[in-house]
Amino acid sequence: MSAILVVGGAGYIGSATSRFLRNKGYEVVVLDNLSKGHREAVPEETVLIEGDLGDRARIVEICKEYSIKTALHFAAFTQVGESVEQPSMYFDNNSFRTKNLLDGLVEAGVDQFIFSSTAAVYGEPHEIPISEDHPKSPTNPYGWSKLFVEEMLESYRVAYGLRSVRLRYFNAAGALDGHGEDHTPEAHLIPLVLQVALGQRNSISIFGTDWETPDGTCIRDYIHIADLAKAHFQAMEWLDSGSQGGFFNLGNGEGHSVKEVIETSREVTGHSIPVVETDRRPGDPARLVASNQKAKEVLGWEPDHPTLKEIVGTAWEWHRTHPNGYRSP
């Protein structure tokens, strides 16, 4: 029986997707160097191979040993600010090592690939909601490192027949069956807010309250990781049906402000969650909201957990029961 290779499957979204696919009865093989991920996050009955995506020979071996038909690629460094300070590290890990991965897959005869791309490929939005045709103009090396891979993938399809789906996630959030967010350092709003409710931080900072939005705070499109996992499954089925692949936004198509996230977190946790209002951060767009029509029409995808209450609720359940992430007893 063929298996699915999940590169970066010990991380937040990769481990949740591995769980989702296991629940659907697929054999899953995780390749992760554990630089950011957690051994405990990999679902039981899933093979974990500790290794680097830049190790082409190893990738060929793994694909042959496990008869890999499709590879899902989540592995990357993901901190925008760090990418500005250390672009070399980001282009190396996210772009060049991914090229090695692609070369290994092509050598092993794997012809189906699903890539974790990002809304950061669009840069400052010219229109809301952002559709897939929006110009691509990343404002940081992280976004560029992902856009390069998107471009590589199109060339690899034409030249080598590697068919791929590039999924541009907006703000991934929530938890799925014991798989939640455990990043060090944590940069995402929902886990940071919930750390205040856990008593691990005194307050949450709001960067700017004078944006051109109804309550003056930035608006983002939060998408539940269970819905991201489902989209990978549907993208895989689409490739299995012989499709040449393509690219899709994954968001709810609805934005929520920083203040709304904090208010929902207060309701969910019962904690007052003190805030500190500070200046705007350079480079933050006021609004990032996806058009998700294409994924709905082509993949038949529909978010099952679109409400902020459900997203924050599942995240809170995870953080409450895992106050120290995967290191929690």
Ligand X SMILES: NC(=O)c1ccc[n+]([C@@H]2O[C@H](COP(=O)([O-])OP(=O)(O)OC[C@H]3O[C@@H](n4cnc5c(N)ncnc54)[C@H](O)[C@@H]3O)[C@@H](O)[C@H]2O)c1
Chain residues 143-172 in contact with ligand X, contact rule CB under 6 A: 169, 171-172
The residue (of 84 and 209) whose beta carbon lies closer to ligand X is: 84
The answer to whether residue 142 is catalytic is yes
Q: What is the distance between the alpha carbons of residues 60 and 82, in angstroms, rounded to a whole number?
A: 31
Residue 248 found at the interface with ligand X (CB under 6 A): no
Binding flag, residue 37, ligand X (CB under 6 A) = yes
| x-or-dash string of contact with ligand X, 70-109, rule CB under 6 A | ----xxx-x--------------x---x------------
Distances (CA, A) of 226 to 2, 44, 54, 248: 24, 18, 28, 17
Q: How far apart are CA 102 and CA 86, in angstroms?
A: 24
**Helix, strand, coil fractions of the chain, as percent rounded to 5:** 40, 20, 40
Binders of ligand X in range 56-75 (CB under 6 A): 74-75
* Cβ-based nearer residue to ligand X, 173 or 239: 173
- Selecting among 12, 122, 142, 169, the annotated active-site residue is 142
- Please report whether residue 32 would count as binding ligand X according to CB under 6 A: yes
Q: Are strands 171-173 and 222-224 parallel, antiparallel or unpaired?
A: parallel
Which of 175, 109, 224, 204 shows the shortest CA–CA distance to 326?
175
Buried b (16+ CB within 10 A) or exposed e, 54-81: bbbebbbebbeebebbbbbbbbbbbbbe
Q: Applying CB under 6 A, which of residues 70, 95, 116, 140 lies at the interface with ligand X?
A: 116
Instruction: Give the contacts of 91 (CB within 8 A, at least 6 positions apart).
Output: 141, 144, 145, 148
Name the one range near ligand X by CB under 6 A: 12-20, 261-269, 279-287, 302-310: 12-20
Residue 47, interface with ligand X (CB under 6 A)?
A: no
255 binds ligand X (CB under 6 A): no
Task: Say how many C-beta atoms besides its own lie within 10 A of residue 34's C-beta.
Answer: 14
Region from 49-57, 155-163, 254-262, 277-285 binding ligand X, contact rule CB under 6 A: 49-57
Residue 14 binds to ligand X (criterion: CB under 6 A): yes
CB of 272 to ligand X, least distance (A): 27
Task: List residues near ligand X by CB under 6 A.
Answer: 8, 10-14, 32-37, 52-54, 74-76, 78, 93, 97, 116, 118, 169, 171-172, 183
Task: Supply the residues annotated as catalytic.
Answer: 142
